[in-house]
Amino acid sequence: MPKSTKVSSAKTNVPSKNTRASIPPKVQNFLWARSGGRCEYRGCNELLIGDLVSNTPNANKGYHAHIIGDSPDGPRGHETLSKKLASDPNNVMLLCDVHHRVIDRDKKLEHTVQLLSEMKREHEDRIEVVTAIIQDRGTYPLRYSAKIATNEALISASDLHLAIVEEGRFPVRGGNIDLDLIGLDYSEDEPDYWAVHLRNLRTSFREKVSGRTERGEIKHLTVAALAPIPLLVELGRLLSDIRAVDVRQLLRNPKGLKWDSSSSPLDFEVVKATPSKANSVALKIEISADIADERITRVFSEAIPIWSIHSSVRGNDVLRRSDDLATFARVFRTTLDQIRHVHGPDVDVHLFPAVPASSAVEMGRGWQPKAHPTLRVYDENRRLGGFHLVHTLDHRQA
């Protein structure tokens, strides 16, 4: 009556010929190929070949388990479908010992045909995507986090890896690069916060990225960052010399780093200031929220021309498509060119951002010291009474 068949063999890494006759060798081979030799139970993914403890590298630890039982009396059995689907590869899962017991004995009532079918489809779809990736699609995952106010801004490595694979690339083995600086005991309203974080970011980037890029070891980076905006702008500046970089955005709903291509596209509008030969202009970037002009004018002792780039929709989770990020990066670069043309080559741009993390990185990547004005980046801190200058990208010193 048991419907799950143990595949036992210590001499080969292919299914044993002793498997029940209801699962022909051809179906077994098909199943092992589609599953990648790993347990198809959601969240498990255990490799079912080899055992380090017993030093048997070719040990076969797989179980073939029917979704609709191969007997009407077995778990999820059906009067007519059990016999009909007994040899159907779409009705058989490859499982580890623990999970074959779970679905057929310990919690068999909780594991419906629909649930197990979903697990099988999810697992085999993922294996198909991963194995279709060609060798030159490798990328180095780079994470950067720094404390935002009182919150530890952590990014999951597994979320980043999953997003990479789902976009048709693969994380280079052993290639994780972490620039996390969450352990520094400073708050953003302390004078040393920005100097210490900027210095450590540059040092960490130089040690972990720059040399490997110059040697040709790193050919592509996938970047996920979550930190105060001025630090993200500096990270983007550091990345600007690396041609092949994908910048990801941490989405809130559903949470993760995979782009949501089903979302409506964002449009970006540029509002220009009146032409003048002003020494300084303000540039508002309004994507996450609106920025009232009064919040900017109180920073300066005299009137200052104000430019603006704003998205068609504002909010914390509105930048959801890779095309939107690329469009914003292009609009930002073009706007810096326009400001220099309108106000002269020596104008300083005071940047007031309310933006998602990925667009902050792209602002730093897009700034070109030989082509764009000096960029003075502001951070808003309520303890300090509003916006205050914390970082400068100076074209005269670059």
Q: What is the structure's pLDDT at 134?
A: 63
- The Cα 178–Cα 157 span in angstroms is 9
- The Cα 47–Cα 56 span in angstroms is 14
Region of 77 (left: φ > 0; alpha: ψ -120 to 50; beta: rest) is beta
Token pair of 210 as six digits? 């720059």
Q: What is the structure's pLDDT at 14?
A: 41
Query: Which residues, listed in sequence order, are joined to residue 349 by a DSSP beta bridge?
Result: 281, 375
Q: What is the structure's pLDDT at 190?
A: 73
Q: What is the structure's pLDDT at 183?
A: 56
Token pair of 225 as six digits? 């960052």
Burial class (CB in 10 A: 0-12, 13-18, 19+), 214: exposed
Q: What is the CA radius of gyration of the chain?
A: 28
Token pair of 255 as six digits? 């949470």
> Where along the chain do its domains lie?
5-131, 135-256, 268-393
- The Cα 80–Cα 40 span in angstroms is 26
* Per-residue pLDDT in tens (0 to 9) along the chain, 398 residues: 334 444 443 333 344 433 444 688 888 988 999 999 999 999 999 999 887 777 788 888 999 999 999 999 999 999 999 999 999 999 999 999 999 999 999 999 999 999 999 999 999 988 887 776 666 788 999 999 886 654 555 788 889 998 998 888 888 888 899 997 655 566 666 778 899 889 999 999 999 999 899 888 898 999 999 999 999 999 999 999 888 999 999 999 989 999 999 999 999 999 999 888 889 999 999 999 999 999 999 999 889 999 999 999 999 999 999 999 999 999 999 999 999 999 998 899 999 999 999 999 999 999 999 899 999 999 998 887 889 999 999 866 65
- The Cα 393–Cα 390 span in angstroms is 11
Q: Give φ, ψ of 143 to 5 degrees.
A: -115, 140
**Nearest C-alpha neighbor of 231 from the set 105, 113, 146:** 146
- The Cα 128–Cα 162 span in angstroms is 14
Task: Name the pTM for this structure.
Answer: 0.71
Burial class (CB in 10 A: 0-12, 13-18, 19+), 210: middle
CA angle (52 as vertex; 49, 57 as ends), nearest 5: 45
